[in-house]
C-alpha cells in the first residue's frame, strides 16, 4: 500500500487575475505580479489517501499517454539502486560507469506515467470525476467531467526526496494552466475548472502530492 | 449503496448532448466547446479500437478513421436528435480527423497483427459469463497467453447498477475507498473496481493455480457487484 499526503490549494481567479495569468505565461517578468494577485485568493487544506499497487497499475493503463510496462517495478529498481544495493553482490558491476559529469536519473517515462496515474486517481477520488478524454500529444493531460463541470487536468511528477521540488514545478506551470483554463472557460458553455496535480515519489511506499484547483469567476 | 454507472462511450455521448444543448441555448455560433471536441475525439478513438478488434479484415477501401468518424457522428446525431438539439458538428469533426490521423494508421497496422496473433492463439482468452443476477460480462485475460498480466471483468451493455454495499457486507472481504476506484481486499488479492463497472485483478508472475484461484474469486466478486438485474 502506498500512502499519499496531499497539499491542496484552491485558487479563485477573477477576470483580472486570468488576464495576469496569460501575461505571466508569456512574459516571466509578470510572474511576481500574478503571484501577488493570487495570494489572497488562495485557500489551503491537507488530505491523506492510500492506493494499492494494483490500483496504481490500473490507473497507469487508464491515464498514461506513453506506453510503459511495469513502471512501479522500474521505480522500485531505481530506489534499490539509490539505496546503494548495486554495490552488493547480485547486481551488474558496470551499472555505475558514468562517462561524464551528468546526474544519474530514473526512467522518466515511468515517473511521468505514475504522475499521470496519480492525477487521474486523485481527480476520481476527491472530485468524483470520470474520464472524458485522454488527448494524444495535446494539452492538458486529461479532460474529466463531474457535476456538470469540465475539469482540465495537468499532471507533473518528480522523483526527489524534497517536497519543494514538485512544488516549484507545479507553481511554474500554474500560469500556463490558468491561462488555458481561462480561455476554455470563455469559449465553453459549461463551467471549466483546472486541476494541476504534482506527485513527488518520496519512496516506493510514500508519495507527496501538491495540487492546485483553479476556479474561474 | 447502489451506484448507477454507464459505459464510458455512453457517458461521452451524454456529455456531448448536454454541452451541445447549452451551446444551442446561448444562440452564439462563435462559441466553441473544447469539451465536445475532446469527447468526440475519444468517441472516434473508441470506435476505431472496436473496428480494429472486431472487423479487422472488413475495412474495404475505406480508412478506419473515416469509418469510425462516420459511425461516431451518426451516434452523436441520433443522440442529439432524440433530445431535439441541433448544432453543427463539422468543425469538431475536422479537428478530430486531423488529431487522430496517425493513431489511425497505427491501429490499422496493429489490427492486421491481431488477426495473426489470434490465429496462432498467442493472446489471452475472453470468456463471456453471467453473474447470479443474470447480468452478462466478459472476463478478459490480459497479455500474452504464456504471461497473463491480469484479469479484467467488463459488464456488457451501457447501464450497470453496482452493488457497492454488497461488497462491504461480505465479512471476510475489506473494501477501501469512499469513491472509485474502490479497492476490495480478498485473501491476498486486490480487486480494483472502477467507475465503468469493470473489475481488475493483477495476476502478474503468479503460478497457474493461484491465477485460477484469482479467477474463481473474481467470479464471486462480480456475482456480488452486479447483483442488480
In three-state form (DSSP H/G/I as H, E/B as E, the rest C), the secondary structure along A23-39 is HHHHCHHHHHHHHHHHH
Test B35 with A188 for CB contact under 8 angstroms.
yes
Show the CA angle centred on residue B20, arms to residues B17 and B26, nearest 5°. 145
End-to-end Cα separation, chain B, in angstroms: 15
Distance from CA of A138 to the nearest CA of B (A): 9
Cβ contact, residue pair A130, B195, below 8 Å: yes
Q: How confident is the model at residue B158 (pLDDT cuts 50, 70, 90)?
A: confident
With CA atoms as reference, report the closest residue to B192 among A51, A137, A65.
A51
A132 contacts B39? CB cut-off 8 A = yes
- Up-side HSE of residue A50: CA atoms within 13 Å toward CB? 8
Please give the DSSP secondary-structure letter assigned to residue B123: B
Closest-CA residue of chain B to A134: B42
Q: What pTM value is reported for the model?
A: 0.93
* Residue B51: pLDDT over 90: yes
A92 three-class SS: coil
Give A128's contacts in chain B (Cβ within 8 Å): 179-180
**Strand ranges for A91-205 from DSSP E:** 130-133, 142-146, 149-158, 192-203
Q: How far is CA B12 from the centre of its chain?
A: 11
pLDDT digits (tens, 9 = 90+) for B191-210: 999 999 999 999 999 999 99
Which chain B residue has the Cα nearest residue A193? B35
Tens of pLDDT, residues B8-38? 999 999 999 998 988 888 777 677 888 899 9
Residue given cell 480494429 in the structure block: B52
Interchain contact B179–A (C-beta under 8 A): yes
Q: Is B39 on the interface with A (CB under 8 A)?
A: yes
How many CB pairs lie under 8 A apart between chains A and B? 98
- Mean per-residue pLDDT for A170-190? 93
Whether residue B1 is predicted with pLDDT greater than 80 in this model: the reply is no
Rounded Cα distance between A32 and B54, Å, is 55
Does the distance separating the beta carbons of A145 and B35 come in below 8 Å? yes
> What is the model's pLDDT at position B31?
76
Mutate to test the interface with A, among B44, B174, B181, B187 (most CBs of A within 10 A): B181
Q: In what order do the strands lie in the sheet with A192-203?
A: A42-51, A2-13, A206-216, A192-203, A149-158, A142-146, A130-133
Alpha carbon B127 to its chain centroid, in Å, reads: 16
CATH 3.30.310 fits B126-225, yes or no: yes
H helical segments located in A70-135: 71-82, 108-127
- pLDDT for the residue B134: 85
Site from A62, A132, A150 to mutate, B interface, most B CB atoms within 10 angstroms: A132
Q: Please indicate if any CB of chain A lies within 8 Å of the CB of B95.
A: no
Residues A83-107 pLDDT 10s: 889 888 998 877 666 677 777 888 9
pLDDT reported for residue B229: 60
What span, in angstroms and rounded, lies between the C-alpha atoms of B207 and B193?
24
Are residues A132 and B26, on separate chains, in Cβ contact within 8 Å?
A: no
Inspect the interface and report whether the beta carbons of B31 and A188 lie closer than 8 Å. Answer: yes
Is the pLDDT confidence value at B157 over 60? yes
Of the candidate ranges A12-26, A173-187, B13-27, B91-105, the one whose mean pLDDT is the lowest = B13-27
Handedness of CA B152, B153, B158, B163 (dihedral sign): negative
**CA angle at B87 for the pair B86 and B92, rounded to the nearest 5°:** 145
Contact A189 B183 (CB under 8 A): no
* Average pLDDT value for residue range B175-189: 96
Helix (H) or strand (E) holding B79: helix B64-82
Cα–Cα distance, B100 to B48 (Å, whole number):
10
The tens digit of pLDDT for each residue in A133-172 reads 999 889 999 999 998 899 999 999 998 767 889 999 999 9
**Matching residue, cell 546503494:** A84
User: Is there a cis peptide before residue B110, judged by omega within 30 degrees of 0?
Assistant: no
From the list A62, A125, A188, the residue facing B33 with the nearest CB is A188
Mean pLDDT of B67-73: 96
What DSSP state is assigned to residue B194? -
Q: Is B200 on the interface with A (CB under 8 A)?
A: yes
**Averaged pLDDT score across all residues of chain A:** 93
Contacts 24+ apart (CB under 8 A), B134-141: B134/B229, B135/B160, B135/B226, B135/B228, B135/B229, B137/B222, B137/B226, B139/B215, B139/B218
Among A120, A154, A190, A192, the residue to mutate for chain B (most B Cβ within 10 A): A190
Amino acid at each position: 500500500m502506498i500512502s499519499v499526503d496531499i497539499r491542496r490549494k484552491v485558487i479563485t481567479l477573477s477576470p483580472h487575475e486570468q488576464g495576469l495569468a496569460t501575461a505571466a505565461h508569456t512574459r516571466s517578468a509578470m510572474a511576481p505580479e500574478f503571484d501577488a494577485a493570487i495570494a489572497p485568493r488562495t485557500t489551503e487544506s491537507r488530505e491523506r489517501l492510500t492506493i494499492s499497487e494494483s490500483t496504481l497499475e490500473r490507473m497507469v493503463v487508464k491515464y498514461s499517454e506513453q506506453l510503459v510496462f511495469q513502471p512501479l517495478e522500474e521505480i522500485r529498481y531505481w530506489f534499490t539502486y539509490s539505496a546503494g544495493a548495486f554495490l552488493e553482490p547480485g547486481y551488474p558491476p558496470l551499472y555505475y560507469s558514468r562517462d561524464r559529469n551528468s546526474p544519474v536519473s530514473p526512467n522518466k517515462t515511468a515517473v511521468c506515467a505514475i504522475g499521470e496515474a496519480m492525477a487521474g486517481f486523485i481527480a476520481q477520488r476527491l472530485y468524483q470525476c470520470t474520464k472524458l478524454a485522454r488527448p494524444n500529444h495535446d494539452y492538458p493531460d486529461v479532460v474529466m467531467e463531474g457535476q456538470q463541470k469540465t475539469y482540465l487536468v495537468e499532471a507533473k511528477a518528480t522523483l526527489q526526496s524534497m517536497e519543494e521540488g514538485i512544488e516549484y514545478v507545479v507553481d511554474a506551470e500554474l500560469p500556463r494552466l490558468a491561462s488555458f483554463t481561462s480561455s476554455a472557460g470563455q469559449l465553453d458553455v459549461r463551467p471549466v475548472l483546472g486541476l494541476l496535480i504534482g506527485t513527488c515519489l518520496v519512496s516506493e511506499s510514500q508519495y507527496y502530492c501538491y495540487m492546485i484547483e483553479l476556479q474561474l469567476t | 449503496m447502489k451506484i448507477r454507472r454507464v459505459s464510458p462511450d455512453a457517458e461521452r455521448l451524454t456529455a456531448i448532448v448536454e454541452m451541445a444543448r447549452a451551446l444551442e441555448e446561448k444562440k452564439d455560433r462563435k462559441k466553441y466547446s473544447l469539451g465536445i471536441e475532446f469527447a468526440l475525439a475519444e468517441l472516434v478513438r473508441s470506435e476505431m479500437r472496436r473496428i480494429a478488434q472486431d472487423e479487422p479484415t472488413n475495412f474495404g477501401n475505406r480508412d478506419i478513421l473515416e469509418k469510425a468518424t462516420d459511425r461516431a457522428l451518426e451516434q452523436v446525431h441520433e443522440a442529439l436528435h432524440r433530445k431535439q438539439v441541433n448544432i453543427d458538428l463539422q468543425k469538431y469533426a475536422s479537428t478530430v480527423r486531423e488529431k487522430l490521423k496517425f493513431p489511425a494508421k497505427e491501429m490499422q497496422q496493429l489490427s492486421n497483427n491481431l488477426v495473426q496473433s489470434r490465429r496462432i492463439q498467442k493472446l489471452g482468452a475472453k470468456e463471456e459469463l453471467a453473474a447470479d443476477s443474470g447480468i452478462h460480462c466478459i472476463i478478459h485475460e490480459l497479455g500474452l497467453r504464456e504471461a497473463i498480466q491480469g484479469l479484467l471483468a467488463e459488464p456488457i451493455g451501457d447501464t450497470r447498477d453496482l452493488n457497492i454495499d454488497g461488497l462491504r457486507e461480505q465479512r471476510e472481504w475489506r473494501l477501501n475507498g469512499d469513491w472509485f476506484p474502490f479497492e476490495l481486499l480478498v485473501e491476498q488479492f486486490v480487486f480494483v473496481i472502477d467507475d465503468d463497472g469493470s473489475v481488475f485483478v493483477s495476476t502478474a508472475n503468479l503460478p497457474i493455480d493461484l491465477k485460477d484461484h484469482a479467477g474463481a474469486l473474481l467470479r464471486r466478486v462480480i456475482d456480488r457487484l452486479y447483483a442488480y438485474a
